[in-house]
Structure 1
Amino acid sequence: MTAGTGPRIDAHMPGSYQILPERGLVYVRYEGFVRLQEAQDLFADYQTKPDAHPGQKQLVDLTHVEDFERDFPTLMAMQAEKADTFLSKGHQFFMVFVAPTEKAQAMGRILVAPWKGVNGVVTSMQYDEAGALAILGQPETSIADMLRSTV
């Protein structure tokens, strides 16, 4: 999968993703009301792509999240599935959340917390795009500029 491809955001999906293989990065964007089953479906779709592989850094943009489903047992099961996928073969899993709003920060805290203390997993929640991109070693200061330069 190349930049600009992948599921598109629409009324039935909470988000989209773009695999940026030349950067070793996956950009994930959620918006609106995020339902866990839809997020799980998005992750399942990602796993089927030939450019998806353990060790890719994840940039998760929560900027446009209005609210999210709070089903903690399902969330924990999803996180366990991600751990199985991303930590296979000894790879490190690096995930940075962009969360500039109060709702986004609430969701980000819930997504970051289960990973604390998990060996091989590094997570961070940033309040702006520039900070998130800097942590990921990207030269751009906005996600839009990063996506434009990858096309």
Structure 2
Amino acid sequence: MPATFQILPSHNLVYVQYSGLMLVEDSLRAFGAYAQHPDARPGQRHLIDLSRITDMERDFAKVMQLQAAKAEDLAHNGLETMMVYFANTPVSLKAAALAKNGWSASQGVIAIVQETEAAALSSLGLAFSNISAMLTAEERKRA
């Protein structure tokens, strides 16, 4: 699946990973599944890993529709949501900029783009050098 997510409750974090062609339909499906997940909570921080995308859908009207749908759901909780986009390639940086610019502070979303894993994790207050180390630590906690 091109868009997957994991909820890491101990870090109050949702890790979202995209791969291949980034489609709005996949984003809607993943966000809908997240919203219905029993561990989903208002105010969870989001780390969106775009480092593995190869291209993105260019229907900007659909992209803005996706942002509006997400904003409506996130705005209902009344808490600020931090979105950190990890993007390290030209196409992922373009996708991250588009996503970031679709949010506003008035929607309760603070969105930033980071070009390294360490910077993305640090901006979330997580003391891991890379995403793999974070996910491994989470696996150990669950075992």
Fold-level similarity (TM above 0.5): yes
Say which of 54, 71, 83 aligns to 2:71.
Answer: 83
More helix by share: 2
Which runs of 5 or more structure 1 residues have no equivalent in the other structure?
Answer: 1-12
Tell me which residue corresponds to 1:47. Answer: 35
Q: Deviations over 1:27-64 (max 9, x none)?
A: 00001111111211111111111001221000000010
Give SS of 1:54's match.
Answer: coil
Give SS of 1:139's match.
Answer: coil
- The runs of at least 4 aligned residues of structure 1 exceeding 6 Å deviation read none
- 1:147, 1:43 → 2: CA distance? 20
Tell me which residue corresponds to 2:132. Answer: 144
Q: CA deviation at 1:117?
A: 4.5
Kept in 1, the 8 Å contact 2:87–2:113? The answer is: yes
Say which of 56, 59, 84 aligns to 1:68.
Answer: 56
Q: How many positions carry a matched residue from both structures? A: 139
- 2:48, 2:101 → 1: CA distance? 15
Q: CA deviation at 1:106?
A: 0.7
Taking only the aligned residue pairs, the percentage that are identical comes to: 37
**Cα RMSD (Å):** 1.2
Kept in 2, the 8 Å contact 1:14–1:34? The answer is: yes
Tell me which residue corresponds to 1:110. Answer: 98
